[in-house]
């Protein structure tokens, strides 16, 4: 019987340790946790567990995210990257996710965003995607949950943990409703798949609900397979979304 090969625990580059931070968690993903430092900044930590394999994956995802933020630099539609810390990245602190904002509207008497916002946000989301694509980055999990609102009510794209860069496939993927249908063995994140996800996000912005929110994932997959998409007749941008959902356009703005 062969002896199992020990997995070496990865360590971060020689960086300063994170300073004082709040214990009030702002968000948590599969491989990272976000805590506030102050009113202007947050830290995103690579998660630690009892699994060396999982901890190494968390740190690799953080390294990827660092690389992407540095590649993207300063842009009005991208969350601002501030600096490196041991097993941590420091980012600007933004407000709620767009999805949370839409959910609160929906639960406040079924309200929807006013037309000015409903027109502005899709443009800003498209600007963010168009920009990262020019930098050879595929976000991989485009949705209203990864767009945050700043103090002016403008959108910024965040969370590049598990994203793809320079032709490397993302290690994350979207849920069923933002996902361009392909045969399971053929699916890969791409610019067309991100445009499809953008179309789903625009639908959610205008209605506060995801496409086919009342159907099961299996039913949604079957409809997408046959290019049957959610009803758009009552949405002012009904001529734009179908073009995104069938991936006939390849460049946003």
> pLDDT tens across 150-172, in order?
999 999 999 998 899 998 988 88
Torsion of CA 144, 210, 108, 104, to 10 degrees: -20
Pick the range with the lowest mean pLDDT from 170-174, 186-190, 199-203.
Answer: 186-190
CB 210 within 8 A of CB 224: no
Whole-number mean pLDDT of the chain? Answer: 82
The owner of tokens 């946003």 is: 252
pLDDT confidence band for 217 (50 / 70 / 90): confident
pLDDT of residue 248: 35
Percent of residues, the chain, with pLDDT higher than 70: 77
Structural domains in the chain, sorted by start: 27-92 (3.30.200.20), 98-245 (1.10.510.10)
pLDDT of residue 57: 86
Do residues 101 and 94 make contact, with C-beta atoms less than 8 angstroms apart? no
Inter-residue contact 28 to 34 (CB < 8 Å): yes
Residue 27 has pLDDT above 90, yes or no: no
Spatial distance between the Cα atoms of 208 and 109, rounded to a whole number of angstroms: 12
- The DSSP annotation for 61-123 comes to HHHHHHHHHHHH-S-TTBPPEEEEETTEEEEE----BHHHHHHHHHTTTS----HHHHHHHHH
Tell me, what's the pLDDT at 4?
A: 46
Write down the number of H helices and E strands in the chain: 6, 9
pTM for the predicted model, two decimal places: 0.83
Q: Element (H or E) spanning 27, and its range?
A: strand 27-28
Range with the lowest mean pLDDT among 20-34, 174-188, 201-215?
174-188
């Amino acid at each position: 019987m062969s002896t199992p090969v020990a997995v070496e625990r990865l360590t971060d580059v020689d960086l300063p340790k994170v300073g004082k931070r709040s214990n009030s968690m702002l968000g948590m993903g599969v491989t990272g946790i976000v805590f506030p430092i102050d009113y202007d900044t947050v830290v995103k930590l690579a998660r630690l567990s009892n699994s060396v394999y999982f901890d190494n994956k968390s740190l690799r995802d953080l390294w990827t995210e660092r690389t992407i933020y540095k590649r993207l630099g300063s842009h009005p539609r991208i969350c601002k990257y501030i600096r490196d810390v041991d097993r941590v990245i420091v980012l600007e602190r933004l407000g709620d996710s767009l999805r949370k904002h839409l959910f609160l509207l929906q639960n406040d008497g079924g309200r929807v965003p006013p037309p000015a916002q409903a027109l502005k946000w899709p443009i800003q989301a498209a600007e963010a995607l168009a920009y990262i694509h020019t930098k050879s980055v595929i976000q991989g999990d485009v949705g209203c949950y990864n767009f945050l609102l700043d103090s002016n009510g403008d959108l910024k794209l965040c969370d590049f943990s598990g994203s793809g860069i320079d032709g490397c496939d993302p290690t994350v993927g979207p849920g069923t409703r933002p996902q361009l249908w392909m045969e399971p063995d053929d699916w890969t994140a791409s610019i067309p798949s991100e445009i499809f996800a953008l179309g789903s996000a625009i639908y959610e912005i205008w209605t506060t609900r995801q496409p086919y929110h009342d159907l099961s994932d299996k039913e949604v997959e079957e409809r997408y397979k046959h290019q049957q998409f959610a009803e758009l007749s009552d949405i002012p941008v009904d001529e734009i979304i179908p073009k995104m959902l069938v991936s006939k356009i390849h460049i946003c703005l």
